[in-house]
Amino acid sequence: MEFILFLGIVLCISILSCKATNKAGLPLLVGFMLIGIVIGQWVFHFESEDFNLAVGLCNFALLLIIFTGGFDTNFSEAKPILGVSVFLSILGTTLTAMLGGFFAFFVLKLEFYEAMLMGAVISSTDAASVFSILRSKKLNLKNNLGMVLQIESASNDPTAHMLTVLFLAMAGAGGSQNIFLLFITQLFLGILVGFVGAKVAQFTINRLHSEMEDLYLILLAAFAFLMYGTALLINGNGFIAVYVGGIILSKGKLTHKRHLAQFFGSISMLMQIMLFIILGMLFVPSNFLDIIVIGLAFAVFLLFIARPLVTFVIMKPFGRKLNEIALVSWAGFRGASSIVFAAYLLLADLPYSEYVFSIVFFVCLLSVTFQGSLIVPFAKKLNLIAQEPQVLKSLTEYAAEIQEEILEITISPGSFACGKSILELELPEDVHIIIIRRNGKTMVPIFSTVIQEKDTIMLASGDKEKLLQLRKSLKVKQQINE
């Protein structure tokens, strides 16, 4: 009972803290992490025997976040920038890991595997932090840079995870492991499981034919868990599996896709809150004094040398301008996934694990705080803030892509729909009013929106017959676009 009460208090404080964090121009995760640090110091702190639980919870949260990142990909918008984004996420992440590892080895004088592990865990970026700031200020980036960052960050977590697993295996085996074979095995089996799992999920969901929409939510979540677990079982990479699975599902037709999209968008946000708080609880503030100099040196190297060099080498051949390269470089925040991967070292009980974890946590916290507070003025200075309102896609914006049949009707005087709210119309379960045009203006309706005479409404459904029945019942002019 006390735990449930405590959980409710923490979630309420976390959500209410978002207002203050946004006002300060910082990513939301900063506030969540600080809450976790406070809880870890004065309420509950994970002991060594609790690391299995902590890392398990982090993996659970991360797999849902990564699956959602794949499911969130809008390929119609992503196609023009897919090449540069994929190179940034795979080659860019690998180069960043190598550069970070060499810096830690030659400059910070860490042991080789300790240095390479630090480079691997810190190599991924967290675009969600960037978007939380841009969305709070209703801003958008020019030249599809927002989509570049979204694709890069969603797909570089699996790459960084794979590199971390490889170097952990080498460290545990004293370097006797064949790193190339491990890499190919992790990559190939992860992709295979993700592809097959997504196709099976799509086939099963589209043939469930249940009147209960919530069953589809549970079934899709179950398939995400199955993809992750199966990949691990056969020595593949679970995060690559769920990301590839999410991408395959985002491209294909899926029953109740909008409902599924909204659900996983909300779940992803809840998982991020849980993840950031747990990571904050794992950190020991007293370790700051031991790692602050090395942490600062490492953060400066990543921000001003490694990230700019990698983004320039990759983006310049794609014809990107220097100001665009500079912004993408600056927006490469180090985030929660890096800290999760660093926690693997704690679980492995390596002799330098707490030291590396503290450095990585400090670098990530410094990165999102410093870079996050300056991302908007930096983008304005580079003239890369778009004039149009914020249009970065989220899962709830799949609606326009879901249905095959569209019915556009104009409400005539005397129609039974006049003066009724959308909820009062009692439309069939799989028929939705997606747009209303009124007096030359377009609106996205909600259940309480009242229909008026001369409104032009657009209904969507996968069932053409239901739309034709509505045409007769409303007794209005219609146009069906197929």
- 145-176 tens-digit pLDDT: 888 887 888 788 888 988 898 888 777 655 55
- Residue 405, classed as helix, strand or coil, is strand
Q: Residues 205-230: what's their mean pLDDT?
A: 88
Q: Enter the pTM of the model.
A: 0.75
Instruction: Give the least confident one: 66-70, 279-283, 311-315, 440-444.
Output: 440-444
Query: Of 300, 303, 308, nearest to 324 (Cα)?
Result: 308
Per-residue model confidence as pLDDT tens digits over 297-349? 999 999 999 999 999 999 999 999 999 999 999 988 888 888 889 888 888 87
User: Which pLDDT band holds residue 435 (cuts at 50, 70, 90)?
Assistant: confident
Query: Which residue, chain included where needed, has tokens 């946590």?
Result: 361
Q: What Cα–Cα distance (Å) separates residue 50 from each residue in 45, 161, 199, 345, 348?
A: 9, 22, 37, 14, 13
Query: Which residue, chain included where needed, has tokens 């020991």?
Result: 284
What pLDDT does 464 receive?
67
Chain centroid to Cα 181, Å, comes to 29
What pLDDT does 128 receive?
66
> Which residue(s) pair with 459 in the sheet?
407, 433
Rg of the chain over all Cα atoms, to the nearest angstrom: 24
pLDDT at 21 over 80: no
Per-residue model confidence as pLDDT tens digits over 103-152? 999 988 888 878 888 899 999 888 666 666 666 666 678 888 888 887 88
